[in-house]
Amino acid sequence: MSKAIPCELISWSQYNTLSRQLAQQIRDARINVDMIVAIGRGGYMPARLLSDLLGIFNLTSFKIEHYRGAHKQRTAMVKYGLTAPVDEQNILLVDDVSDSGDTFNVAFEHLQSLGNPEHIHTAVLHHKVVSRFVPDFYAEKVEQWRWIIYPWAISEDLASFISTMEQKAGSVEIIADNLKHAHGISVSAEHIEDALRLLGG
């Protein structure tokens, strides 16, 4: 069985609801936004939907690597930098979750190294209270820590959990049972099979 890590599996419907709540908060704040910048990869989907809901079509991104599945790398670092000009821009910086705060710290340093933005606002779907960074906008506050599995990252996250199981070659039913007991999540056979393909199973 893999190491016990409490998890929450977010559905596409929940993602849509959280994004709409986040968009409404941003509207209510009446901030100026010239450009939405997604922190890849987690911020790609939330930023794209916010672009649609807010009618802000100046959307771009850069990539920071910190997690591979649920396994944290040693340090957060910019893998692919931002190429858009930032001088005098009001930027809405978007990620899926504020977990440790490291990603946002690196993101701020990167944006400020490129020029002089007018203002940088931040937004996430989930803000964990253990994070050293508090975003300006978040749809949900996570008081009790858990790993959040978004619908666009199910295969990757499940693969990282399955890879730590003692019985990696067990049946789909056995793996599903292990995931339920270790992580508190119920996943479909299809999701498990997709994860096993990533592991070469």
Would the CA dihedral through 110, 147, 164, 187 be positive or negative?
Answer: negative
Contact 116, 86 (CB under 8 A): yes
Task: Map tokens 């666009």 to a residue.
Answer: 152
pTM, rounded to two decimals:
0.91
* Interatomic CA distance for residues 81 and 62, integer angstroms: 5
Task: Write down the pLDDT at residue 2.
Answer: 58
Q: Is 168 helix (H, G, I), strand (E, B) or coil?
A: coil
At 157-194, the pLDDT tens digits run: 999 999 888 765 568 999 999 999 999 999 999 999 99
What is the band of 73 on the pLDDT scale with cuts at 50, 70, 90?
Answer: low
Residue 17 tokens read as: 């609801």
Please say if the pLDDT value at position 80 is more than 70.
yes
Task: Write down the pLDDT at residue 165.
Answer: 85
Q: How far is CA 192 from CA 9, 157, 160, 178, in A?
A: 14, 10, 11, 11
| Distant-in-sequence, close-in-space partners of 80: CB < 8 Å, separation ≥ 6 | 40, 62, 63
Q: How far is CA 35 from CA 58, 115, 133, 198, in A?
A: 5, 14, 21, 35
Task: Over range 137-144, report the average pLDDT.
Answer: 97
At 20-72, the pLDDT tens digits run: 999 999 999 999 999 999 999 999 999 999 999 999 999 999 999 875 545 55
